[in-house]
């Protein structure tokens, strides 16, 4: 009984020590900790190493006890040694990988791979923005030729031959009866001739006038719009343009109309947008030059003569038309000082957009 219990105590103790040692091995963080675990449990010269002490005492035991206790102690020792070896290997590998990774460090401040970066022309960016706005309202986009007939460019727009308004537009002429269009308005005529009302279109495109100085180029972009429907008023024109201006220049801008003259609209107006930079508060503002307003373009209610020309009944339908210059809008929006830059293909300019 006594014998039995002393034996069992030693075996149990070995088991305890084994578990203790294995969990110590599992939890050490460094190679030196690993060594102290080994010394603590397996150190031969360490008199506080209990397992060693048990093994040293084996020879004093009876053969049966010796087999029993010895077997347990050897097995425990082996397991602990294996665990120690695995741990040791593992920590070497970790150290090696750490060393490798640190040797692989890069200078994160060096530039990344330069993926190509192109650009979109500033005027066309503005056109896209304006077109997107009108498409959102339900407009379509209409296009037409740049070499236009005299009829579509002038006469159908209530500008008959000899009319002084022809003199306002310095026109490039080709063969008799052909011009480079001076505005995108002929597209409106073509659109109305090809369909019945209601009409809601915008017409962006290149236009040409024989004019060249620091603020005029012989080619420029225009974007015009036309709406013909029952009950359209100048108020609809004003609301539409104000919403467009806020879309392009920000929520805070407002719109004002001034009287003007175009042969194909009556009443005719000019539209100004309040300065989106200074709102009129800065007399030295570079964008509005202190005026507080930026001229945006012309507009008006479609002249009854134009509606009649395309066989729409002006008593049944009214309409509004507007036009503005995306180049000038891009100039104010992006702060470009010189219109001529737009058409020179200069990369120092183009690559900024």
Residues 165-194 contacting other proteins, CB under 8 A: 165, 167-168, 172-178, 180
Contacts of 54 (CB under 8 A, 6+ apart): 10, 13, 14, 69, 73
| 158 contributes a contact to other proteins by CB under 8 A | no
- Per-position DSSP letters for 310-326, written without gaps between them: TT--TTT-EEEEEEE-H
d(CA 178, CA 149): 5
C-alpha torsion angle, residues 32, 38, 44, 49 (rounded to 10): 110
Give the shortest CB-149-to-other proteins separation in angstroms: 4
Q: Name which of 133 and 276 has its Cβ closer to other proteins.
A: 133
| 345 contributes a contact to other proteins by CB under 8 A | yes
Q: Count residues contacting other proteins (CB under 8 A)?
A: 92
| 216 contributes a contact to other proteins by CB under 8 A | no
Q: Name which of 39 and 168 has its Cβ closer to other proteins.
A: 168
Q: Name which of 66 and 256 has its Cβ closer to other proteins.
A: 256
End-to-end CA distance of the chain: 96
Q: Which residue has the tokens 């005529």?
A: 189
| 128 contributes a contact to other proteins by CB under 8 A | yes
Q: Name which of 73 and 179 has its Cβ closer to other proteins.
A: 179
Q: How many CA atoms lie within 13 A of 3 on its CB side?
A: 7
Q: Name which of 214 and 345 has its Cβ closer to other proteins.
A: 345
Which residue from 153, 97, 121 is spatially nearest to 334, judged by alpha carbons? 121
| 218 contributes a contact to other proteins by CB under 8 A | yes
| 63 contributes a contact to other proteins by CB under 8 A | no
Backbone phi and psi for residue 73, each to the nearest 5 degrees, phi listed first: -65, -40
User: CA angle at residue 168 from 145 to 342, to 5 degrees?
Assistant: 55
8 A C-beta contact, residue 209 and residue 153: no
Residue ranges in 273-332 that form contacts with other proteins under rule CB under 8 A: 301, 303-304, 318
Length of the chain: 353
Binding window for other proteins (CB under 8 A); candidates: 2-10, 39-47, 79-87, 239-247 = 239-247
Residue ranges in 86-125 that form contacts with other proteins under rule CB under 8 A: 110-111, 113-121, 123-124
Q: Which of 77, 185, 222, 268 binds other proteins (CB under 8 A)?
A: 268
Q: Name which of 79 and 129 has its Cβ closer to other proteins.
A: 129
Give the shortest CB-238-to-other proteins separation in angstroms: 5
Give the shortest CB-285-to-other proteins separation in angstroms: 17
| 4 contributes a contact to other proteins by CB under 8 A | no
d(CA 251, CA 239): 14
Q: Name which of 52 and 222 has its Cβ closer to other proteins.
A: 222
């Amino acid at each position: 009984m006594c014998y039995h219990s002393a034996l069992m105590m030693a075996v149990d103790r070995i088991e305890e020590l084994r578990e203790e040692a294995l969990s110590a091995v599992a939890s050490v963080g460094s190679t030196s900790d690993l060594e102290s675990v080994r010394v603590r449990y397996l150190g031969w010269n360490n008199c506080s190493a209990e397992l060693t002490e048990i093994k040293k005492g084996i020879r004093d035991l009876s053969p049966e006890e010796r087999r029993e206790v010895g077997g347990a102690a050897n097995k425990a020792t082996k397991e602990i040694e294996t665990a120690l070896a695995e741990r040791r290997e593992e920590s070497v590998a970790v150290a090696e990988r750490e060393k490798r990774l640190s040797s692989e460090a890069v200078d994160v401040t060096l530039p990344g791979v330069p993926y190509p970066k192109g650009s979109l022309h500033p005027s066309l960016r503005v056109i896209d923005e304006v077109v997107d706005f009108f498409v959102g309202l339900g407009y379509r986009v209409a296009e037409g030729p740049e070499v236009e007939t005299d009829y579509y460019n002038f006469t159908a727009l209530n500008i008959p031959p000899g009319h002084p308004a022809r003199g306002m537009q310095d026109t490039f002429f080709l063969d008799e009866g052909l011009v480079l269009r001076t505005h995108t308005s002929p597209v409106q005529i073509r659109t109305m001739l090809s369909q019945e009302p209601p009409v809601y279109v915008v017409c962006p495109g290149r236009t040409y006038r024989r004019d060249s100085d620091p603020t005029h180029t012989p080619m420029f972009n225009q974007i015009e719009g036309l709406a013909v429907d029952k009950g359209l008023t100048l108020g609809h024109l004003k609301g539409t343009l104000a919403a467009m201006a806020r879309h392009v220049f920000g929520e805070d801008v407002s719109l004002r109309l001034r009287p003007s003259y175009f042969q194909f609209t009556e009443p005719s107006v000019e539209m100004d947008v309040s300065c989106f930079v200074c709102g009129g508060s800065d007399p030295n503002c570079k964008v509005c030059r202190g005026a507080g307003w930026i001229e945006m373009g012309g507009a008006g209610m479609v002249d009854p003569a134009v509606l009649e020309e395309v066989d729409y009944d002006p008593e049944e339908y009214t309409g509004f038309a507007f036009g503005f210059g995306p180049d000038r809008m891009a100039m104010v929006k992006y702060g470009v000082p010189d219109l001529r830059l737009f058409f020179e293909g200069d990369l120092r300019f183009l690559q900024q957009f």
